[in-house]
Amino acid sequence: MVEYRIDRRSGVATYLQIVQQTKQALRMGLLEPGDRLPTAREVVEATAVNPNTVLKAYRELEREGLVEARRGLGTFVRATLGTGPADSPLRGELTDWARRARAAGLEREDVAALFTSVLKEHFEGDE
Amino acid sequence: MTDPVIEADGLGMRYRRRGGGWALKDCTLALPAGRVVAVVGPNGAGKSTLLGLAAGLLRPTEGRITAPTRDRLAYVAQDKPLYGQLTVAETLRLGHELNPDRWDPAAAERITGPLPGNARVRTLSGGQRTRLALALALGKRPELLLLDEPMADLDPLARRELMGALLADAAERGTTVAMSSHILTELEGSCDHLLLVQDGRIRLDGAIDDLLAAHTLLTGPIADLAPHTVVDSRTTGRQLTALVRREGPVEGPWETAEPSLEELLLAHLRPTEGAPA
């Protein structure tokens, strides 16, 4: 079972926080196919978040094929989310790149800004 | 879209005392059932008047308002009126006797939980009285729950707990909840519909997601923002920061972002630069 932590000051929409935290739990293996997500009532009671927001997040996860709602029973995990293994070639390339960026004198924040802007360029409209 | 649970048409309310000014004027709205509505606005804007009219406790000076009948709605006034000489248990029994067909003791006791049953109401703290008043309202299993500044007396922990219990109950039974506050952070995230009241008028009315999506916060060089409707704008040196209600896509040299609820509200409440306040 996951427990959601809602940060009202983060600037990230609440339903997206629920979507992202569910995905994170899937990536980490904390949620596996067949597991039940907390009911809207349980989430609302623990977080004081609007019930419709929870339902919106669950609909979004359902649309992405990650969970399914079973009438009267709850919402269940259908799929896992793969993450590149820690030693994947992609990670290696990124590590090299970060090393070069640092050698070139970039600060951590410069690197983060650069990375974010490239992410934005290539994944525009995915969220 | 479901049938509205509160409908007002040309609603106005004028107080005989207080110099005869309008507390509420030209108010037309239709609140869909099942929403959790934030009634937001500065002190004295007309929030309590609107809730009192919806509860049927005030009579409109003009126009009309329809809401569920007295037995199907619950209203918790700002001062949480209770009988001081009764105990907590007696108050709950009274709630049961006044609502014999609807009363749900479990729903009420979930809220009163930590209160001692034999304590007299007059010995309770402000926060405990709020708890008891909310328990009475929820025990009635209302279709519409009207709460005027419900959380003002509560510490942050109790606030979170009671808001959670309130929303969980609403989620289970599809109750429509309308609650007022002048403290926005109390309501952000918990509500899905907004009514912004200012100077006795409704300034914004709609689903919060839709309202946020209809507005854009932009920063960049000073330029004409037409055809968009400028809600609030200010300039610092060569930079313009504005919140607009969009008419079509925003095209221009601006950085754009969706505003937060707080930014949206402040922009609407702030007098615009150069405009008469």
The angle that helices B126-139 and B88-98 make with each other, rounded to 10 degrees, is: 30
Q: Which sequence spans correspond to the domains of chain B? A: 4-199, 211-269
Interface test with A, best of B35, B110, B167, B208 (most A CBs within 10 A): B167
Cα angle value A34/A67/A57 (rounded, 5°) = 135
Per-residue pLDDT reduced to its tens digit, A47-64 = 999 999 999 999 999 999
pLDDT score, position B276? 45
| Mean of pLDDT values over A21-33 | 89
* Closest chain B residue to the Cα of A42, Cα to Cα: B168
A70 and A116, same domain (yes or no): no
The residues that bridge with B194 in the sheet, in sequence order, are B38, B206
Q: Do A41 and B172 touch (CB under 8 A)?
A: yes
Same-domain check for residues A58 and A38 = yes
**Closest among B68, B66, B74, B70 to B28, alpha carbons compared:** B66
On chain B, the residues whose CB falls within 8 A of the CB of A45 are 164-165, 167-168
CA–CA distance, A34 with A68 (Å, rounded to integer): 10
Q: What is the CATH number of the domain that holds A39?
A: 1.10.10.10
Both tokens assigned to B219: 């920063």
CA B189/CA B202 separation, integer angstroms: 21
3-class secondary structure, B107:
helix
Show residues of chain B in contact with A8, CB under 8 Å. Answer: 185, 188-189
Identify whether A58 is part of a domain. yes
Cα-based distances in Å from B28 to B114, B172, B196, B202: 41, 29, 13, 8
From B36, B168, B188, residue closest to A45, measured CB to CB:
B168
Q: From CA B182, how far away is CA B37, in angstroms rounded? A: 14
Whether residue A19 is found in the same domain as residue A69: yes
* pLDDT reported for residue B153: 85
pLDDT, one tens digit per residue, over B87-117 is: 999 999 999 999 999 999 999 999 998 899 9
pLDDT value of position B146: 97
A119 and A97 in a single domain? The answer is: yes
How many independent structural domains does chain A possess? 2
Report pLDDT for A126: 59
Please check whether residues A72 and A104 belong to one and the same domain: no
Range of the domain at A110: 89-123
Residue B190 at interface with chain A, using a CB cutoff of 8 Å: yes
Which residue among B168, B191, B192 sits closest to A41, beta carbon to beta carbon? B168
Q: What is the pLDDT of residue A27?
A: 86
Residue A8 belongs to a domain: no
pLDDT band per the 50, 70, 90 thresholds, residue A9: confident
Side-chain-facing half-sphere of B142: CA atoms under 13 Å:
27
Backbone torsions φ then ψ of B78, nearest 5 degrees: -55, -40
Interface contact B190-A46, CB threshold 8 A: no
**Same domain membership, residue A70 and residue A18:** yes
Q: Is the pLDDT of residue A87 over 60?
A: no
- A73 and A93, same domain (yes or no): no
- A40 falls within a domain: yes
- Mapped onto helix, strand or coil, the DSSP state of residue B274 is coil
The whole-angstrom separation of Cα B103 and Cα B93 is: 10
Please classify residue A58 by burial: count the beta carbons closer than 10 Å to its beta carbon, then call 0-12 exposed, 13-18 middle and 19+ buried: buried
For position B2, what pLDDT does the model report? 65
Q: Is residue A51 included in any domain, yes or no?
A: yes
ipTM for this model: 0.76
Instruction: Find the helix or strand (DSSP H, E) in which B243 lies.
Output: strand B239-245
Q: Is residue A99 part of a domain?
A: yes
Query: How far is Cα B37 from Cα B176, in angstroms, rounded to an integer?
Result: 8
In this structure, is residue A4 part of a structural domain? no
What's the pLDDT band for A125 if we cut at 50, 70, 90?
Answer: low
Query: What is the predicted pLDDT for the residue at B252?
Result: 81
Average pLDDT score over residue span A88-106: 88
Choose, out of B36, B110, B145, B190, the residue to mutate when testing the contact with A (most A CBs < 10 Å).
Answer: B190
What is the CATH code of the structural domain delimited by B4-199? Answer: 3.40.50.300
Structure token digits, residue A124: 């525009």
Quick one: average pLDDT of A13-38?
91
Each residue's pLDDT expressed in tens, for chain B with a length of 277 residues:
568 999 999 999 998 776 778 999 999 999 999 999 999 998 889 999 999 999 999 999 999 999 999 889 999 998 888 999 999 999 999 999 999 999 999 999 999 988 999 999 999 999 999 999 999 999 999 999 999 999 888 888 888 899 999 999 888 888 999 999 877 766 888 999 999 999 999 999 999 989 999 999 999 888 888 889 999 998 888 889 999 999 988 888 888 888 988 899 999 988 765 444 3
In terms of pLDDT, which residue wins out, A90 or B112?
A: B112
CA dist., res. B216 & res. B223, Å (int): 16
Flag if B190 and A49 touch (Cβ within 8 Å): yes
3-state helix, strand, coil in chain B (%, to 5): 30, 30, 35
**Nearest CA to CA, how far is B115 from chain A (Å)?**
19
Q: Between the CA of residue A28 and those of A18, A33, A88, B204, B241, what are the distances in Å?
A: 15, 13, 16, 42, 41
